[in-house]
Amino acid sequence: MAIKQDVVTREYTINLHKRLHGVHFKKRAPKAVKEIKKFATLHMGTTDVRLDPRLNVQLWSRGVQGVSTRLRLRISRKRNDEEDAKEKLFAFVEPVNVPSAKGLHTVNVEDDEE
């Protein structure tokens, strides 16, 4: 397992279909948000997970019950610069526009910012 103290960015494909199976149709989009946060917590090792507003718009674009079956996400582990922060790192989740998220694997993304 990698050390959780470094800043890293990865692209994941998350299968929301299996995570939302059997969920009541009026609770699918809110449950999808919770499942994405849970996924990011598991893979990045931080409890502080922040979602990009564009991701929220993409999730809710087809209404509360029309959530996409698969999403391509870019999850970045970043340093927290706030003084009263409980953790040194947080995860930032943003959507990646791809024609089809099917069959794509996890990829490490090189940051040009740092």
Q: 0.85 exceeded by the pTM?
A: yes
One digit per residue, the tens of pLDDT, for the chain of length 114 reads 444 568 999 999 999 999 999 999 999 999 999 999 999 999 999 999 999 999 999 999 999 999 999 999 999 999 998 888 888 999 999 999 999 989 999 999 876 554
If one counts the domains in the chain, the total is: 1
| Amino acid code (one letter) for 39 | F
Residue 85 lies in a domain: yes
Measured in whole angstroms, how far is the alpha carbon of residue 95 from the centre of its chain? Answer: 8
Residue 51 lies in a domain: yes
Residue 3 lies in a domain: no
Work out the number of other CB atoms within 10 angstroms of the CB of residue 2: 8
Q: The domain containing residue 92 runs over which residues?
A: 8-109
Residue 2 lies in a domain: no
Residue 42 lies in a domain: yes
Q: Which is nearest to 93 in space by CA: 23, 30, 46, 61?
A: 46
CATH number for the domain harbouring residue 20: 3.10.440.10
Strands 70-79 and 89-95: antiparallel
Residue 32 lies in a domain: yes
Residue 1 lies in a domain: no
Alpha carbon distance 114, 106 (integer Å): 21
